[in-house]
Amino acid sequence: MPGQEQKWMRWGWGLGLVALVTIGGTAWWTFQSQAPQSVVPTPTSSPVVVSGQVELYWLNPQGTGLVKTPLTFGPISKNATAEELLTTGLSQLLSGPDAPTLTTTIPAGTKLETLDVKPDGIHINLSKEFKEGGGSTSMQGRLGQVLYTATSLNPTQPVWLSVNGQPLTVLGGEGLEVKQPLTRAEFEQSFALAPSK
């Protein structure tokens, strides 16, 4: 019977080893599940907070130059982002001037569809009314009004202008060419309508 005793001993050692592995694995798993896990937050880009004042650009009564007027905000946070400030400013510009001494060539009904401040510049999408009516001077005026108002927080920032989601390359029936992105420097070189200082 020594063979049977040896067989039982092997079985005993085998079962003991299985039990030891099972208990050890269970203990390890329990310890790991109770150990605090460090949570790594997902990085988010925070909006750029700016200080400054948006300036609206209107046409002088003769329609021969742009006139800047500071915009006073109502209920908007003093820590507003550039997007919030510019959206408020452009929306007010598109609604027309309050003073009778200022004019606009932006067609009534033009709406700001979207405005995004991105690393490559300010992206503005306007409604289809922006392209309606007027000659080349009128087109230059409305282009300048939007460009200068949009860049009033950062005059060197480029502007990407779209109408109905399509990049604006030609404006008006006379075919005023619009180079993208728009910059103040390019506008002043290409068009006679310069803002008064």
Burial class (CB in 10 A: 0-12, 13-18, 19+), 139: buried
pLDDT tens digit sequence for 22-61: 776 666 666 666 655 555 445 444 444 445 678 888 887 7
Confidence of residue 149 (pLDDT cuts 50, 70, 90): very high
Both tokens assigned to 172: 């008006």
| Backbone Cα Rg of the chain | 33
**b/e 84-97 (16+ beta carbons within 10 angstroms → b):** bbbbbbbebbbeeb
Both tokens assigned to 162: 């779209």
Q: How far apart are the first and last CA of the chain?
A: 113
SS3 96: coil
pLDDT at 126: 98
CA distance 184 to 158: 8
CA distance 55 to 188: 18
pLDDT at 101 over 50: yes
pLDDT at 69: 75
Nearest C-alpha neighbor of 103 from the set 54, 144, 60, 132: 60
pLDDT at 43: 47
Cis peptide before 100 (omega within 30 of 0): no
